[in-house]
Amino acid sequence: MLEIFNLHASVDGKAVLHGVDLVINEGEIHALMGPNGSGKSTLSNVIMGHPKYTVTKGDILFNGNSILNLKPDMRALLGIFLAFQYPKEISGVTLEEFLLSAYKAHQKHLHPDKPPVLVFRFKKMLSDIMKEFNMDEKLATRYLNHGFSGGEKKKSEILQMAVLKPKIAIMDETDSGLDVDALKNVCDGIIKLHKESHGNMSAIIVTHYHTILKYIEPTHVHVLKNGRIIKSGGKEFARKLCDTGYQNI
């Protein structure tokens, strides 16, 4: 599904990625670990097409096609989703309005000949999803992430995934700033989405710590250090990292 070849990238003229190679197949869950400043968030943003980052060498293929020349909105329409480490607050736009706009754009891309979804049908769908994921429906009526707690912001992104049904979700330090209960709730949501996709949704879990991997079992674990993936393994590798740290890798 996602193939990254010899990827080099820079930000503000500073080289950050120095030859990343990564292949993610349909349904796989990859944990991307490493110390601060190793390039994990940079890789997430480069995959999504953030204009601040410049790819200087290499390529990113999604389902066999290069996406380097595609803007972020087109990458999203293809089914790539990025959950931010620090989701932005947007006053004046409710979460429901934001989701309706995004859902309409996705449906128009997938079914260009069909009329847009009726608002009342979308609201019913959104209500059903929120009940299924045990979310307070009042969350949808509030301005997007405005005044949300850390846990609510991450729940908001799980809700976005449930509505948009991405093919691959990049979770950039989703565990950042969450207590144990909030982290477990978010992880339960990710697991539920993976199951509802019949195991077809892929994911990249970007994290510093192994704690999130207690709740989400990865199929692959990679260590990114100094802009390169220096070692990969299975779920047991994450446990080893907890004991040894990154210094001896």
| pLDDT tens-digit series, residues 29-57 | 999 988 888 899 999 999 999 999 999 99
Instruction: Confirm if 40 and 20 have CB atoms less than 8 A apart.
Output: no
Q: How many residues appear in the chain?
A: 249
The count of domains in the chain is 1
Does some domain include residue 80? yes
The model's pTM: 0.90
* CA atoms of 77 and 246, how far apart (whole Å): 36
Asked if residue 130 belongs to a domain, the reply is yes
Residue 14: give its domain's CATH number: 3.40.50.300
**Residue appearing with tokens 């990827």:** 7
Q: Is residue 249 part of a domain?
A: no
Let me know: does 145 contact 99? Beta carbons within 8 Å. Answer: no
Indicate the SS3 state at residue 184. Answer: helix
The answer to the question of residue 83 being in a domain is yes
Indicate the pLDDT class of residue 198, thresholds 50, 70 and 90.
Answer: confident
The sign one gets for the Cα dihedral 225, 37, 215, 198 is negative
Q: How far is CA 82 from CA 23, 43, 118, 152, 172, in A?
A: 17, 11, 27, 17, 7
When pLDDT is cut at 50, 70 and 90, the band that residue 63 belongs to is very high
User: Cα–Cα distance between 229 and 58 in angstroms, integer?
Assistant: 15
11-15, 60-64, 86-90: range with lowest mean pLDDT:
86-90
Question: What domain range includes position 59?
Answer: 2-244
Q: What is the pLDDT of residues 235-246, one digit of tens each?
A: 778 777 767 767
Q: Is 160 a domain residue?
A: yes
Report whether pLDDT(195) > 80: yes
71 domain residue, yes or no = yes
Please tell me whether residue 79 adopts helix, strand or coil conformation: coil
User: How many angstroms separate the CA atoms of 58 and 4, rounded?
Assistant: 8
